[in-house]
Amino acid sequence: MSILVVRHGQTAWSLSGQHTGSTDVPLTEVGEDQARHLAPVFVGRDVAAVLVSPRQRARRTAELAGLASAPGGLQVDPDLVEWDYGAYEGRTTEEISAELGRPFSVWHDGVEPGDTPGETVHQVAVRARSVLRRAEGLAGPEGRDVVLVAHGHFLRVLLATWLGLSPTAGALFALEAGTWGALGHEHGRPVLDRWSVPPAG
């Protein structure tokens, strides 16, 4: 089995570096092109299911990548939403650092409540573990592929969780917009096969 992960294509906020959790921003034209060029990744693969975040940037990426034709279509999974950034929603790391008077890292400093409560990295990891359990169940005894279409920080936490690391280790695995990765096994142990692979074309 491989779990294929896809970060949605570029948005205006991913381009500017703004933390994008609950805000439902659309893809840019570049993001839509990135999504279309992801389609060859899935050609010839035995895909059992596609789980997608409810945010439009993820759903549109999945549609343009041709994943809606997978068995069961696109299955919206609320656990795949991005980290809830609370008061830091829509703000850049540079802006938050300037306000705090020191370098800020969402991975180690966490977030403050705002219009939404915010989440700790460990709360995000709880959702990631739930998604991984569902993905492994959907792969079945045949070990078919499952595709997850979601968001940068969430998928980095998911990778750390898959590898048995602290969720804060997600800080080490940069994942560009419009790229994909593959989580698999080697000798029965979870491994990272590919990461932040750009689309063809």
Assigned token pair, 188? 């029965």
By C-alpha distance, which of 116, 127, 126 is closest to 84? 116
Cross-strand partners of 150: 7
What is the spatial distance between Cα 6 and Cα 118, in angstroms, rounded to a whole number? 24
Enumerate the active-site residues. 8, 82
Residue 171 CB contacts under 8 Å (≥ 6 apart), including other chains:
105, 107, 108, 156
- The residue whose two tokens read 């499952």 is 146
What is the spatial distance between Cα 80 and Cα 124, in angstroms, rounded to a whole number? 9
What is the spatial distance between Cα 9 and Cα 87, in angstroms, rounded to a whole number? 24
